[in-house]
Amino acid sequence: MRNIFLCLMAGVITCSCSHDKKEIYKDPSAPIEKRIDDLLSRMTIEEKVGQMNQFVGVEHIKANSATMTADELKTNTANAFYPGFDEKDIERWTEEGKVGSFLHVMTLDEANYLQSLAMKSRLQIPIIFGIDAIHGNAYAPDNTIYPTSINLACSFDTAMAYTIARQTAREMRAMNMQWTFNPNVEVARDPRWGRVGETFGEDPYLVTLMGVESVKGYQGQFDGPEDVLACIKHFVGGSQPINGTNGSPTDISVRTLREVFFPPFKAGVEAGAMSLMTAHNELNGIPCHEDKWLITDVLRDEWKFKGFVVSDWMDIEHIHDLHATAENLKEAFYQSIMAGMDMHMHGIYWNEYVTELVKEGRIPVSRIDESVRRILYVKFRLGLFENPFVDKDQSMTIRLCDEHRQTALEAARKGVVLLKNEGVLPLNASKYKKVMVTGINADDHNILGDWSAPGEPEDVTTILEGLRQISPDTQFDFVDQGWDPRNMDPAQVALAAKKAKEADLNIVVAGEYMMRFRWDERTDGEDTDRSDINLVGLQNELIEKIYASGKPTILILINGRPLGVEWAAENLPAIIEAWAPGMYGGQAIAEILYGEVNPSAKLAVTIPHSVGQLQMIYNHKPSMYFHPYVDNKPSTPLYPFGYGLSYTTYKYEDLKLSAQEIAQDGSVKATVKLTNTGDREGTEIVQLYIRDKFSSATRPVKELKDFARITLKPGESQEVTFDITPDKLAFYDKNMQWCVEPGEFIVMVGSSSADDDLLKQTFNVKK
């Protein structure tokens, strides 16, 4: 029956094509620009405005309208329906060609169904389906769930970023989904913010490289059945909110925007990203969704962005009802479109009000045509006019295939950071025969992270399952603490403390809770911001009581944001930061614990001692700690950016520069000798930092400018060479001119951003 349906729909398209030989837009051999010109000439203003509007899927509407009230929708950014309208209205508008896109369509059946409605429309313009495929197409059921973006960043493996994006694109197209709202290339500089885990961390250079490879992986050649539309987001500044909460105001100087926040977006544009999402927040008093300077002056005129701009969840409406810079919705739509917005996510009044604005002459038809042209271009490039449907029988040959599963496991192995180890790791199974395991994340699918649908048991390896798999002869005694850190049972904490005394070794798996199907119970993730970064609930008490047993205790953290685990760092012999390692995270963690995998990851974000240290970033300005805190709190982090341990040791020596003086347009090579001084093979992430010692405007104390993943056998040495080119030395001078200033530069190479871990040399740039 399914194949008959597809054949019938293909027949509809074929018959329509043969009906009118002049329909150039239906001719796949015609140049895309001519197809767009032809189609635009046939469209009514209502159809054009409809292409600029996106709706949530009908199944999403049905589910939420049955369980939520209209008042609950006002502050909810995960669920949606349209009070006064039902799914039949949305279906009718789709058949009338007045819907350009859908999001929150979670199954192939629904995607094919909605596409079939679009094929009934007068012009048969296909739908483009968007989804938050943040670490794999994990938000939709039955797809490979890779480690989260912060895990990936800690691997410093840009090739892995490309591979995961490429595989994600294949799984998306196998579900008839063509547009991922990723990569998130915001530079995360506040751990209170719940979305740190879906970013690539705090460093502009690392974020840029990971974002570029993700864009390339998603889009491929941007013309095939395995390519999807990438969306660089959120433009801009939401990752440094003034109070740590998602969408709160942001005040950032133009200098900081251009030096810290703009580079990943500019690089994403240059890498070919064909969509961009604006940020929830207002920037320096102007809501980003109506900021003409951002959307038009910078993005389009300066950076030559060719794709289309999409709003975030109902944020154009928020120009009116939250930011209050528009007196009504119609005015909000006007301001956003005239600033450069192309597509609206999501809502029912857009079509009506925007059509009125055009007919009233306030918005020129030419302005609407600009946006529609950009949207249609993407649909033509992705082949949606020729292939609007996907065969369900072929879908699961791609999704969750062995190759993708193996990538998920390998990525987890590379993204787990060993923070502390006083000789207890790797574990000796013959020494620790009885191990007590406890904590909220010990045996829970929360290891999948935010933006994940619940996984099937056979597709997820929890940490407890991983331990039993890797060390089958060990007796693992599990004490369940539930999944909710805010409602832990004191009796279970006491039971774990008792069992700890009977064990040879104890493992506590603590952290945050991130799963979306329990939206109101989460402590981490989108719209789940916190006023501190301590462990929630009784988790610290649990750790301290188990430590009091006198038996070796290991802490494993599952979380999206940095956590200030001060007490554990001072007292426990071993700590692992696993973030949200995905579907095979339990296996990867167990392999690291038992030494089958040598950890290599480095922190992509600084971990502060406490919230009182914020802002705590490695690339701060020189005066940041001119005066120390008077309450004896340190001015250094708990763990610095770039830090991570291994089961082997490395020696850095003989840092040399190829020249002591270069011209302003010249370059210099930095070479360092790296030796594996331990007894096992390992991979070290060698990091290059640079400081402009004296400059016309203040510069950070150090900035990451390059890195290399180097694998060495025991006793093996290798010379690692970095090219220091002008782009690694340039900055915006006191007149905001991009240049390389003459003077002394400090080159630092080592294992982390901490001064004690770096070798240093200097060279001069002559005028």
- Residues with catalytic roles: 312
- Could you tell me the CA-to-CA distances from 327 to 278, 290, 313, 330, 332 in Å, in that order? 21, 14, 20, 8, 8
Instruction: Give me 40's structure tokens.
Output: 């635009």
- Cis status of the peptide bond prior to 183, with omega within 30 of 0: yes
Closest CA to 292 of 343, 308, 300: 300
Asked if 199 and 207 count as a contact pair (C-beta separation under 8 A), the reply is: yes
Sorted by sequence, the CB contacts under 8 Å of residue 760 that are 6+ apart come out as 655, 746, 747, 748
Q: Which residues of 398-415 are buried (b: 16+ CB within 10 A; e: fewer)?
A: bbbbeebbebbbbbbbbb
For residues 132 and 557, give the distance between their C-alpha atoms in angstroms, rounded to a whole number. Answer: 25
Take residue 724 and report the two structure tokens written for it: 């220091």
User: What's the gap between Cα 257 and its chain centre?
Assistant: 19
How many CA atoms, within 13 angstroms, populate the side-chain half-sphere of residue 454? 6
- Cα angle 184-705-266, degrees, rounded to a multiple of 5: 40
How far is residue 211's CA from residue 475's CA, in Å, rounded to a whole number?
43
Q: Among 567, 573, 569, which residue's Cα sits nearest to residue 554?
A: 573
Contacts of 55 (CB under 8 A, 6+ apart): 90, 93, 99, 101, 102, 103, 346, 347
Closest CA to 60 of 110, 95, 96: 110
Return the amino acid letter for 360.
E
Q: Is 336 left (phi over 0), alpha (psi -120 to 50) or beta?
A: alpha
Residue 560 Ramachandran class (φ > 0 left, ψ -120 to 50 alpha, else beta): alpha
Residue with tokens 């006007």: 334
Cα 525 to Cα 528: distance, rounded to the nearest angstrom: 5
Please compute Rg for the chain using Cα positions.
27
Q: Which residues pair with 663 in a beta bridge?
A: none
Instruction: Single out the residue of 219, 314, 223 nearest to residue 275, CA to CA.
Output: 219
- Number of helices and strands (H, E) in the chain? 24, 26
Q: How far apart (Å, rounded) are the C-alpha atoms in residues 64 and 389?
A: 26
CA distance readout (Å), 128 to 55, 104, 476, 507: 11, 12, 49, 46
Residue ranges of alpha helices (H) inside 345-396 are 350-359, 365-381, 392-395
**241 φψ region: left (φ > 0), alpha (ψ -120 to 50), beta (else):** beta
Q: Is 631 left (phi over 0), alpha (psi -120 to 50) or beta?
A: alpha
Per the listing, tokens 């885990």 go with 197
- 439/719 Cα distance (integer angstroms): 43
Going by C-alpha positions, the residue among 16, 2, 4 that lies closest to residue 386 is 16
Burial 693-702 (b: 16+ CB within 10 A, else e): eeeeeebbbb
- 170: tokens are 């294949």
